[in-house]
Amino acid sequence: MNCSDLIIIGAGPGGYKAAVYAAKKGLKVTIFEDVNVGGTCLNVGCIPTKTYVHSKTFEEAVERQPQVVEALRSGVETLLSHPNITLVREKAKFIDACTIEASPSGEVWRGANIIIATGSSAKMLPIPGADGQNVGSSTELLGLKELPKRLCIIGAGVIGMEFASVFQKFGSEVTVVEYLKECLPMMDSDIAKRLRKLLEKRGITFYMGAGVKSLTPAPSPGRGETILFEQKGKEVSVKADYVLMATGRKANTEGLNLEAAGITLAPNGTIPVDEHFRTLNGQSSMVNGQCFAIGDVNGRQMLAHAAEMQGIHVVNQILGIEDKIRFDVMPAAIFTEPEAACVGPTEDQLKEQGVPFECHKSFYRANGKALAMNETEGMVKLCCEPEEGKLLSAHVFGAHAADIVQEVTAFITLGATLRQLRETVHIHPTLSEVLIEVN
């Protein structure tokens, strides 16, 4: 039987970062991955998508995508070649809470600590026609070799909005159908609406508050789909050559035999964990044995950088190292054109929670660098405690919104105030000056 200090199932951002960090701290690590290292983010998610965002044409994107992915995947392979890491390219399943069996070899591994980092996969709507040949998730869309003339996107969350923006830029006629009243529900509603209106001006058609009922292929194979949905009590249909289903993601737990580890899934299919990401009902027959779940599989924060930091925190827990990672301060970005990004609660959420706050805004059109860049479409909204007190949140859309929010994230993490942000010298001319121009 093989033994390790730490077994990790899944070599996505959370898994491989935890493995490398643990190995550098002296732990003997075994990591299982039966597909490609790097997980969804690197292979079929955020990295390929950003390659599309930063390509001028569809043809350029198709050519560059595999080159970028392969280069980064090779880098992860190099990181996992650390002498304290054993990479097992097989599937893993629990025999008990401390023992893993590899498939198809049947080899058995025992670990004092186990991290489940199996990620998530696209969730498809259970409607007629969802399995059609012209219907797919972001993975299938990224595999297309020809630009669809008409693209219909079901869902106006992060994935839907990013692909809507980029495929409209490439020349597709894009339609977005969303069940909710507004896009990007995690964003401030004012910011989300402004971004949607801007994308509408660029030619993207949005149907909000619309529930999709069915997808029907054209009579001739490969000739597209008819999307039927209901909006304000009326049936509406649109035609498209391809349909992207961007309706959320589900935790990857199939085949893990979690029951053998004493783990019962939550009603939404994720693995329940405590504040340190220990499985809440995991059981272990080994002294000091522990089981953890990080990243998308626990459903806490479905972001690659959240998975990475959760993995680091878990390794710290195993080693008895105290850290001060703020999982309640989690920035996120949407790489549309222009970008949108946020950290902390929205204005509506603060009102619902009864939290006293002030709201301060500024606009890109008054910023010298934005004017010089011809990027005047943008807005910043900062929320803080009254009288320029502790910063609570930032919601931004505009060029380099992610970078601007990242600065505010540092201030929030350190418990700083809006006054301290205002009194921090900013280089001129830069876009980040919009932060000290809020009123």
- Single out the residue of 93, 79, 133 nearest to residue 10, CA to CA: 93
Q: Report residue 34 as tokens.
A: 């039966």
Amino acid identity, position 30: T
β-pairing verdict for 340-343 and 391-397? antiparallel
For the chain, the residue count is 439
Contact 89, 34 (CB under 8 A): yes
DSSP for 191-254 reads HHHHHHHHHHHTT-EEE-SEEEEEEEE-SSTTS-EEEEEEETTEEEEEEESEEEE---EEE--T
Provide φ and ψ at 10, rounded to 5°.
115, 125
- Single out the residue of 432, 436, 428, 337 nearest to residue 391, CA to CA: 436
- The per-residue pLDDT for 287 is 36
**What does each of the 439 residues of the chain score in pLDDT, given as a tens digit?**
899 999 999 999 999 999 999 999 999 999 999 999 999 999 999 999 999 999 999 999 999 999 999 999 999 999 999 999 999 999 999 999 999 999 999 999 999 999 999 999 999 999 999 999 999 999 999 999 999 999 999 999 999 999 999 999 999 999 999 999 999 999 999 999 999 999 999 999 999 999 999 999 987 766 689 999 999 999 999 999 999 999 999 999 999 999 999 999 999 999 999 999 999 864 443 334 589 999 999 999 999 999 999 999 999 999 999 999 999 999 999 999 999 999 999 999 999 999 999 999 999 999 999 999 999 999 999 999 999 999 999 999 999 999 999 999 999 999 999 999 999 999 999 999 999 999 9
Coil, helix or strand at residue 64? helix
- The per-residue pLDDT for 283 is 45
Cα atoms in the Cβ-side hemisphere of radius 13 Å centred on 291: 28
The C-alpha angle with vertex 17 and arms to 6 and 14, in degrees rounded to 5, equals 85
- The per-residue pLDDT for 222 is 62
Q: Report residue 343 as tokens.
A: 């950290």
Q: Report residue 272 as tokens.
A: 């329940």
80: left (phi over 0), alpha (psi -120 to 50) or beta: alpha
- The per-residue pLDDT for 220 is 72
296: left (phi over 0), alpha (psi -120 to 50) or beta: alpha
Superfamily of domain 2-120+249-319: FAD/NAD(P)-binding domain (3.50.50.60)
Cα atoms in the Cβ-side hemisphere of radius 13 Å centred on 36: 15
d(CA 74, CA 59): 24
Which residues carry out catalysis?
428
Partners of 99 in the β-ladder: 96, 110
- Single out the residue of 50, 57, 276, 249 nearest to residue 163, CA to CA: 50
Fold of 135-245: FAD/NAD(P)-binding domain (3.50.50)
2-120+249-319 matches 135-245 in fold: yes
Locate the domains of the chain by residue range. Answer: 2-120+249-319, 135-245, 338-435
CA 432 to chain CA centroid, nearest Å: 24
What would the CATH number be for the domain defined by 338-435? 3.30.390.30
The Cα-based distances of 222 to 136, 152, 226, 240 in angstroms read 13, 15, 12, 11
